[in-house]
Amino acid sequence: MTDHWHRPLRHVKGGELSGNTAQTSGMRRLEAISGRTVGSEKVWMGETHIGPATNSGDHHHGEAETAIHVKSGHPVFVFAEGDEEIRLEAGPGDYIFVPPYVPHREENPGGEDAVVIIARSSQEGIVVNLPSLWAPVDKPAD
């Protein structure tokens, strides 16, 4: 009999990440930790690859907070502030925080792949693809 506090740890090897998760054009998400892969209840974690000279489609991650760590390359994170497009240029070792429901996109203007590690406050990879950064977002009332 196993109680709640004595469950096994789960090990997902780097070569076992799954592409069977929500996707956005211009990037490839790989899922490591999720409700589906390890039975997590409150976190999703994986990595995203953005090829050279590529932009992702505009999207948001619903109610999930997203934390991003740049593993390699020099991705640019783009979001709208009023009528202005804001660009955050990042490099290896940097971190980016994306609040819930915020439309954004990733760009990779460089000549090498950009790889980022992602953690979300949901057990599944929520992705809502949008036609633009200024598209209306369906957000539940507070």
| Pairwise CA distance, residues 50 & 112, whole Å | 9
Q: For the segment 75-125, what is each residue's pLDDT rounded down to a tens digit?
A: 999 999 999 999 999 999 999 999 999 999 999 999 999 999 999 999 888
Cβ-defined contacts of 77-82 (< 8 Å, 24+): 77/104, 77/105, 77/106, 77/107, 78/104, 78/105, 78/106, 78/107, 78/133, 79/103, 79/104, 79/133, 80/133, 80/134
Q: For the segment 5-58, what is each residue's pLDDT rounded down to a tens digit?
A: 888 899 999 999 988 888 888 899 999 999 999 999 999 999 999 999 999 999
* Predicted model pTM: 0.88
Looking at CATH, the fold of the domain delimited by 18-124 is given as Jelly Rolls (2.60.120)
Structural domain boundaries in the chain:
18-124
